[in-house]
Amino acid sequence: MARLIAYREALREAMSEEMRRDERVFLMGEEVAEYNGAYKVSQGMLAEFGQKRVIDTPISELGFTAVAVGAAQNGLRPIVEFMTWNFAVLAMDQILNTASKMLAMSGGQINCPIVLRGPNGSAGQLGAQHSTAFESYYANIPGIKVVSTSNGYDAKGLLKQAIRYENDPIIFMESEVSYGDKMEIPDEEYYIPIGKADIKKVGRDVTIVSWNKMMKVALDAAAELEKENISAEVIDLRTIRPLDWMTILESVKKTNRLVIIEEQWPFASISSEISYRIQKEGFDYLDAPIRRLTAADAPLHYAPNLISLALPDVARTVKLVKEVMYQNK
Amino acid sequence: MLNLPYFCSSKFYLLATLFSKEIYLYWYELMKLIRQFELISEEKYKMEGKIRGFYHAYVGQEAIAAGCISATKAEDLFITSYRDHGLAIAKGMSINSCMAELYGKATGCAKGKGGSMHFFGKDVNFYGGHGIVGAQIGTGAGLAFAEQYRGTDNVVLCFFGDGAARQGILHETFNLAMLWKLPVIFICENNNYAMGTSVKRTSNVIDIYKLADAYEMPADTIDGMSAEAVHEGVERAVKRAREQGGPTLLEIKTYRYKGHSISDPQKYRTKDEVEEYKDQDPIQKIKQTIIENGFANEEELNSINARVDEKVAESVKFAEESPWPDDSEVLKDVYADENYPFIID
């Protein structure tokens, strides 16, 4: 059996199920308790679990992340909600210098089983400081894993996996603009392993790789291309680090063409890393240069027409795919 | 005679300000051990080049380690900055594993992966050795959060220097620790210099303990050259934390005889100033009390000295004879997940 529920509810179910299972799991963040979540992800959780385990914090990202990291090092399994990953930059010292490095620096004595989650990237006309996509920043760091989800089903399975089974720091990225998206979620409990990409649409002519809310662009573009008899295979990375490049390579072996759609800025982005890996492992299979569509190499401006120009869209994705198919003039 | 590593048990806790012969001799031996460890290590660094990296000595600050360890129990957690040798030894980490860590050997307390600044001993509740100034203030409060969450009566002693008192994380953490009444004692080891910058050149507020006032946190200032004073001050704060009374800030005024790190030419202070502090050397003061009270005579103290010297010499031998970490260690201890697919090229 399955139910039609929103992405935010799937995230909530993941956290609540794991909190019922394990007393060591707690949720901490700004507005998560009495306000029921800035985006209502944690709605009702204070009522069920009480203030010991659903904890409102002051606006002190560095401070409360440090407390959660210390708690994780001392045997608890914290979930930290950032209102957006844009604010987590203030906590970067604890994530980079403490959470990710302590296992190595202590010679394997002190690990940090923590899940740091929240919405990532742009979400409308929010201005430059609320609109950055951070996957490439965190994916650069050894010692942590980075998950970035496009839908409720994946998000629930991956978040449950992160909370219950992972013993390393997990960066877990969502999207404000997807929280209301509804999807069939099984009644039965399920987990999705971290580090496995998912083929969301099978195709034969070109491979499109994306993740998080850019998956909508990728899938809509594939539907457009289908009308013109171009069959695109669409891969949802789901996990950024470790990168499941084998799934991409297997697809490229079949299609011989690769296009990557992402919301990162272009310099040293996730597409940069994928392109390196696929040219190295799949050089002989490529019939065209690997191409990508990224965010514009600029802070995201406020005006709606400038946002449209700066972020990947269906029209430009379709055009890019035709270019690697050598169908454009 | 007591053997190190040795943890103070609760019998000391009940003694309040009356210290026994055993405590004095314990303090003396521990402080001598820390100092000898530092002096020999420095020699191995400077004369023989066998120890490398940033090295921050604890010489002059030993009374803090002594007083803190006698005022706490083994289950209490310690976390500190990169000036970490003295507290690690006090907490009971083996001298051999500490010396081997300085040498970068596989037998080191962090398998040769940490070095001088990153000693760790989870088995004795020593949570490191942190290199980003002030970062451990927040992480330390998190260790205390976990103790409170589990309902233990353990407390965390969270150490930092006067330089760290000017970091933003101190303020965020103080606020959270008071809000949640975390069982943590914030201990500022004020040795008067943040590297080469004296306290009075870093802030309008030169009494660091007063920073607690903004958060209505209890605070105290303590003479860090006296193990007795440290014990008493820490004991009061620990008692409050154990009884769910929340955190305390202790500003412990101390002095480091050595530079900020081993490569510091110390142009920012006079030799006279250093000599002045050496006149109130914490080890000499303890020795005097021991002699005056007849707890031991010179000869007995000399035999402690000899034992300490021997222990440190042994640790040097151990470190020198230990192997380097195996090549395969490069990609170990990075993830708890043993199947993590690293990028190789």
Q: For the segment B177-208, what is each residue's pLDDT rounded down to a tens digit?
A: 999 999 999 999 999 888 989 999 999 999 99
Token duo for residue B215:
């958060």
Note which residues in 26-85 of chain B have CB less than 8 A from chain A. 77, 79
Token duo for residue B31:
């402080």
- The pLDDT, as a whole number, for residue B278 is 83
Give the alpha-carbon dihedral of A60, A65, A68, A70, to 10 degrees. Answer: -110
ipTM: 0.96
Closest residue in chain B to residue A60, using alpha carbons only:
B172
Contact B237, B68 (CB under 8 A): no
Residues of B in Cβ contact (< 8 Å) with A109? 110, 120-122
- The pLDDT, as a whole number, for residue B321 is 98
One digit per residue, pLDDT tens: chain B, 345 residues? 343 343 333 333 333 336 999 999 999 999 999 999 999 999 999 999 999 999 999 999 999 999 999 999 999 999 999 999 999 999 999 999 999 999 999 999 999 999 999 999 999 999 999 999 999 999 999 999 999 999 999 999 999 999 999 999 999 999 999 999 999 999 999 998 889 899 999 999 999 999 999 999 999 999 999 999 999 999 999 999 999 999 999 999 998 888 888 888 888 988 888 888 888 899 999 999 999 999 999 999 999 999 999 999 999 999 999 999 999 999 999 999 999 999 999
Instruction: Tell me the per-residue pLDDT of B150-167, one tens digit each, with 9 for 90 and over.
Output: 999 999 999 999 999 999
Of B128, B137, B176, the CB nearest to A60: B176
Instruction: Tell me the per-residue pLDDT of A280-318, one tens digit each, with 9 for 90 and over.
Output: 999 999 999 999 999 999 999 999 999 999 999 999 999
Note which residues in 95-134 of chain B have CB less than 8 A from chain A. 108-114, 118, 120-122, 127-132
Catalytic residue among A30, A130, A135, A233: A130
Q: Is A301 a catalytic residue?
A: no
Residues of A in Cβ contact (< 8 Å) with B168? 62
Note whether A97 contacts B131, CB cutoff 8 Å.
yes
- The pLDDT, as a whole number, for residue B262 is 86
Among A230-239, A244-253, B262-271, the range scoring the smallest mean pLDDT is B262-271
Q: Is A61 a catalytic residue?
A: yes
Residues of A in Cβ contact (< 8 Å) with B340? 242
Residues sharing a CB contact under 8 Å with residue B205, sequence separation 6 or more, in sequence order: B211
Instruction: Tell me the per-residue pLDDT of A12-67, one tens digit each, with 9 for 90 and over.
Output: 999 999 999 999 999 999 999 999 999 999 999 999 999 999 999 999 999 999 99
Average pLDDT, chain B: 92
| Confidence label for A179 from pLDDT (cuts 50, 70 and 90) | very high
List the one residue out of A170, A184, A263, A235 whose CA is nearest residue A5: A184
For testing contact with chain A, the best of B94, B139, B337 (most A CBs within 10 A): B139
**Residue limits of CATH 3.40.50.970 in chain A:** 2-186
Note whether A66 contacts B341, CB cutoff 8 Å.
no
Of B138, B144, B336, the CB nearest to A167: B336
Closest residue in chain B to residue A26, using alpha carbons only:
B149
SS3 assignment for chain A:
CEEEEEHHHHHHHHHHHHHHHCCCEEEEECCCCCCCCCCCCCCCHHHHHCCCCEEECCCCHHHHHHHHHHHHHCCCEEEEECCCCCHHHHHHHHHHHHHCCHHHHCCCCCCCCCEEEEECCCCCCCCHHHCCCCHHHHHCCCCCEEEECCCHHHHHHHHHHHHHCCCCCEEEEECHHHCCCEEEEECCCCCCCCCCCEEEECCCCEEEEECCCHHHHHHHHHHHHHHCCCCEEEEECCEEECCCHHHHHHHHHHHCCEEEECCCCCCCCHHHHHHHHHHHHHHHHCCCCCEEECCCCCCCCCCHHHHHHHCCCHHHHHHHHHHHCCCCC
Note whether A60 contacts B139, CB cutoff 8 Å.
no
CATH code for the domain defined by B6-329: 3.40.50.970
Is domain A2-186 in CATH 3.40.50.970, yes or no? yes
- The pLDDT, as a whole number, for residue A329 is 54
Chain B interface includes A305 (CB < 8 A): no
Note whether A167 contacts B337, CB cutoff 8 Å.
yes
Average pLDDT, chain A: 97
Residues of B in Cβ contact (< 8 Å) with A19? none
Write down the domain spans for chain B. Answer: 6-329
CB pairs under 8 A between A and B: 149
Number of other residues whose CB lies within 10 A of the CB of residue A216: 18
Note whether B142 contacts A93, CB cutoff 8 Å.
no
Class assignment of domain A198-324? alpha beta
Residues of B in Cβ contact (< 8 Å) with A106? 110, 113-114, 118, 120, 122, 128, 333
Chain B interface includes A143 (CB < 8 A): yes
Closest residue in chain A to residue B342, using alpha carbons only:
A242
pLDDT reading at A188 higher than 90: yes
Note whether A76 contacts B168, CB cutoff 8 Å.
no
- The pLDDT, as a whole number, for residue B144 is 98
pLDDT reading at A91 higher than 50: yes
- The pLDDT, as a whole number, for residue B175 is 98
| Confidence label for A328 from pLDDT (cuts 50, 70 and 90) | low
Q: What is the mean pLDDT of residues A159-184?
A: 98
- The pLDDT, as a whole number, for residue B237 is 97
- The pLDDT, as a whole number, for residue B28 is 97
Note whether B128 contacts A110, CB cutoff 8 Å.
yes
Closest residue in chain B to residue A78, using alpha carbons only:
B146
